[in-house]
Structure 1
């Protein structure tokens, strides 16, 4: 049985890939377990403001859709 050859990765390449992953995980990817916020949002205290803004947007959207529905039904 022949051993698989090891891939040679450059240290800088691995560090760049890890940095890319950490950036995406902490700053771009929403986590369902923390109310669909990023860990950075929660850590830096932006979570509540984001959730309130989402709620306002949701209420405005529902209000607009109801108005459009009423106009279409009339």
Structure 2
């Protein structure tokens, strides 16, 4: 019976990074479509509206959290 070290390919045969220009994995999404963005925004608005029906203070807290998250994401992306 072979050991695990004997079954592995030599270190030079293992490609660590993909070659430039080589097609990446097609199963990984590269960007969302407009309909998906609209759906995500619609779900967020529906969530805030549903929570606001029960508690106005909690609705304000969620809106504040969304706004603060957007600011932090923009800050870390552009700085």
Normalised to the residue count of structure 2, the TM-score between the two structures is 0.35
Normalised to the residue count of structure 1, the TM-score between the two structures is 0.37
Which structure has more helix as a fraction of its residues?
Answer: 1
